[in-house]
Amino acid sequence: MLASIRTDLMPAMSTPLSDASLDQLFRQARTHNHFSDRPVEDSTLQALYELLKWGPTSANASPARFVFVKSIAAKQLLAPALSEGNLAKTLAAPVTVIVAHDLAFYEQLGTLFPHTDARSWFAGNDAAIQTTAFRNGSLQGAYLLLAARALGLDCGPMSGFDNSKVDAAFFAGTSVRSNFLINLGYGDGQQLHARNPRLAFEDACRIA
């Protein structure tokens, strides 16, 4: 039986964030291809994970795995997997995050979702494993992007690389597979292009 929820201990979530906060997370935030020389400290990356880990995932599965590529050696390991258009900007970024997911995530469900046998939902079910790992790992990558912006970092998410080469270089012999990359740092706003438009509500949404 599930333990009763102590609603008196739950923080109120009904107050909207300030306009300044919404601007930082969404309206004024931009995808950056150029960063200043200011380094991103390891403590900031740890704080970043401590924020993003609270984002919801199916059955609290938390399949995402992250490699923060900072060192010259690690950058050189990543370089052969990058497309020509992404190579220079990635090597110049203070940090590149490999957003990946663990196809053996269900082995952690005894700890992460202990009130039922959630492992049995996935063990031996390759379709459920693949779908759940990819979907929720992608969600966690998005949480990372927003957490980074919340901490004052700028982001440059991207595809344009060879997943198989990244997996061979960073995840050989494991059940972890790469999804996408995010360059992180403190952006150079002087090198931003004009912002592209977005779809209007009526073009992207409907209320059923």
Asked whether residue 40 is assigned to any structural domain, the reply reads no
Bridge partners (DSSP) of residue 158 are 181
Give the whole-angstrom CA distance, residue 180 versus residue 183. 10
Q: What's the pTM value of the predicted model, to 2 decimals?
A: 0.93
Position 13 scores a pLDDT of 77
In Å, how far are 94, 103, 160, 181 from 130, measured between CA atoms? 31, 7, 22, 19
Task: Give me 90's structure tokens.
Answer: 């990635």
Residue 90 lies in a domain: yes
Weakest-pLDDT range from 13-17, 58-62, 111-115: 13-17
Q: How confident is the model at residue 5 (pLDDT cuts 50, 70, 90)?
A: low
Asked whether residue 56 carries a pLDDT value surpassing 70, the answer given is: yes
Between helix 126-150 and helix 42-52 the angle, nearest 10°, is 120
Cβ-proximal residues to 20 (8 Å cutoff; 6+ apart), any chain:
none
Report the CATH number that the domain containing residue 61 is assigned in CATH.
3.40.109.10
- Residue 130 is assigned to a structural domain of this protein: yes
Query: Cβ(185)–Cβ(38) under 8 Å?
Result: yes
Identify the domain containing residue 149 by its residue range: 52-181
| The pLDDT of residue 7 | 57
Give the total number of structural domains in the chain: 1
206 inside domain = no
For the chain, what is the mean pLDDT? Answer: 95
In a domain, 198, yes or no: no
Average pLDDT value for residue range 4-11: 60
